[in-house]
Structure 1
Amino acid sequence: MNISSLIMFDEFERYIRQYEPGLTREQMQLIRSKSVLKKVRRRQVLLHEGEVCQHKIFVLRGLLRTYGTANDGSEYVMKFTPEYEWITDPDSYFNRTPSELNIDAIEASDVVLWSHDDFEALRTVIPEINTLSEKLITQNMGVTQKRILLNISANAEEKYQYFIATYPDILRRVPLHMVASYLGVSRETLTRIRQGQAVAAKS
């Protein structure tokens, strides 16, 4: 690894030791040996619809987006992934089936990649990685369930309020049309909500 890559992985090591402080130096060296550090350009695609998802992805810097494409060509955003979060297409990754989603970079990003085979091997030989993986799966299930509940029970304004309360940093970094897509509302509806809130705040 060059100096830049070493610094990037050292940053990842500090992150993972917050959750698994008992990892030995030998275990971290094994994790390091299986990882690929990558600089991603803005709008660069990491997963194309129709491909089998090959990687677990950890974002060190930047912002990724997971989205699908409707029959009419419109995009619907499934997830935003900022710094210190993980992303993959779990169905395609675990079942080795073609993905129905795309993953690209909203901003220039630094990411750490592990291939499917390498990450699954790490889970086998390092119990702490398996524990962390299970925690992440449970966490993602909770987030997904909350989003489904909001989509069923909340109106557009309530969904927007939840988004800005939960993801204030992402709101500042993402174009409005992508936020609208994530919320499942039109850009015009979201604009009206924002304007109404601005007027209410001034009164």
Structure 2
Amino acid sequence: MIDALKTYLTNRAPLPDEAVQRIYSLALERRLTRNEALFNVGDVCRYKVFVVKGLLHTFNNTEDGHEHILQLSPENTWTLDVESYELQTPSRFSIAAVEHSEVLLWQKDDFDMLLREIPEFKLFAEGLIAEYVHSSRRRIFEMLSNSPEEQYDAFIQANPELAARLPLRMIAAYLGMSLKTLTRIRHAQLQR
């Protein structure tokens, strides 16, 4: 897994080999089977997670059984429940594998130490946070202002590879619409 992390960091945040080795030395490797949870609602999110292989989703289920997906995390992305991680409080979300996945995990104390030890890594992490905030705000705005058809089209344009890997019910849960609505949209598009 170190090769995947090294390639990712080299392409995104040129760091000396010693820094990459130090970052990797504090990581825990974990393999998840399809549908296996990394943690569940009520657990404390204790790790920053880098997805080496596979696909994770951050979600919650309402009392009536509807799933709401907050985030999709394919290869070469980071994930966590920020609020639970930062405050070390029980999470309102679960993170689980959509498909067989391999991840690297850093405990909060270890990751904080890396940020103090490696200034370039801290700058990189701050840039990732800014990217996440920007994309989250863009997604919220699109959900508030676009029609379901526009939301689906934007999702397909931005994530063609994810669309092929996700069942329709998960795409609907990510877009905040019912499976019935998404099925109607797709059927209408096929008729054109």
Please report the TM-score for the alignment, with normalisation by the length of structure 2: 0.97
Structure 2 counterpart of 1:11, which letter? A
Offset from partner CA, 1:125-158 (integer Å, 9 cap, x none): 1011111110111011011101110111111101
What's the offset of the Cα at 1:27? 1.9
Q: Distance in 2 between matches of 1:187 and 1:27?
A: 46
Higher Rg of the two aligned structures? 1
Structure 2 counterpart of 1:42, which letter? R
Structure 2 counterpart of 1:15, which letter? Y
Q: Which runs of 5+ in 2 are unaligned?
A: none
Bigger drift between 82-91 and 69-78 goes to 69-78
Number of residues of Structure 1 aligned to a counterpart in Structure 2: 192
Is 1:9 the counterpart of 2:5 in the alignment?
no
Once the two structures are superposed, the pairs formed by residues 119-138 of structure 1 within 5 Å of their partners are 119-138=111-130
Q: Distance in 1 between matches of 2:24 and 2:68?
A: 34
Partner of 2:106: 114
Partner of 2:13: 20
Give the secondary-structure state (helix, strand or coil) at the position aligned to 1:80: strand
What's the offset of the Cα at 1:32? 1.8
Give the secondary-structure state (helix, strand or coil) at the position aligned to 1:59: strand
Q: Distance in 1 between matches of 2:120 and 2:50?
A: 17
Once the two structures are superposed, the pairs formed by residues 1-203 of structure 1 within 5 Å of their partners are 8-21=1-14, 23-200=15-192
Give the secondary-structure state (helix, strand or coil) at the position aligned to 1:106: strand
Give the secondary-structure state (helix, strand or coil) at the position aligned to 1:62: strand
Structure 1 counterpart of 2:170, which letter? M
Please report the TM-score for the alignment, with normalisation by the length of structure 1: 0.91
Q: Distance in 2 between matches of 1:26 and 1:153?
A: 47
What's the offset of the Cα at 1:45? 0.3
What's the offset of the Cα at 1:73? 2.6
Q: Which runs of 5+ in 1 are unaligned?
A: 1-7
Structure 2 counterpart of 1:86, which letter? W
What's the offset of the Cα at 1:19? 2.1
Q: Distance in 1 between matches of 2:100 and 2:49?
A: 15
Give the secondary-structure state (helix, strand or coil) at the position aligned to 2:103: strand
Structure 2 counterpart of 1:20, which letter? A
Partner of 1:5: none
Structure 2 counterpart of 1:16, which letter? L
Q: Distance in 2 between matches of 1:18 and 1:42?
A: 29
Q: CA RMSD in A?
A: 1.0
| Larger fraction in strand | 2
Give the secondary-structure state (helix, strand or coil) at the position aligned to 2:99: coil
